[in-house]
Structure 1
Amino acid sequence: MRFLVDAQLPPALARWLAAQGHEAAHVGDLGMQAASDAAIWDHALVSSSAIVTKDEDFVQRKVLADNGPVVVWIRLPNTRRQELLAWFETVLPDVLAALLRGETLIEVT
Structure 2
Amino acid sequence: MRFLVDAQLPPALVRALSDSGHIAEHVFEIGMTEATDQDIWRYALDHDAVIITKDEDFPNMLALSRESPVVVWVRVGNTRRRALLAWFEPLIGTIVEMVDAGNRLIELR
**Residues in 1 aligned to 2:15 and 2:32: alpha-carbon distance in whole angstroms:** 16
Q: Does 1:72 align with 2:93?
A: no
Please report the RMSD computed on the Cα atoms of aligned residues, expressed in angstroms: 0.8
Cα drift, residue 90 of structure 1? 2.2
Greater fraction of residues in helix: 1
List structure 1 segments (4+ residues) > 3 angstroms apart after TM superposition: none
- For these two proteins, the number of residue pairs brought into alignment is 109
Which one has more relative contact order, counting CA pairs under 8 Å at least 6 apart? 2
Q: Does 1:90 align with 2:90?
A: yes
Instruction: Give the TM-score normalised by the residue count of structure 2.
Output: 0.96
Cα drift, residue 52 of structure 1? 0.1
SS in structure 2 at match of 1:106: strand
1:15-45 Cα deviation digits (max 9, x unpaired):
2111111000000000101111011000000
Return 5+ residue gaps in structure 1 as ranges. Answer: none
Q: Does 1:25 align with 2:25?
A: yes
1:52-86 Cα deviation digits (max 9, x unpaired):
00000001001111211110000111111111111
**Residues in 2 aligned to 1:96 and 1:2: alpha-carbon distance in whole angstroms:** 10
SS in structure 1 at match of 2:51: strand
Return 5+ residue gaps in structure 2 as ranges. Answer: none
User: What percent identity do the matched residue pairs reach?
Assistant: 51
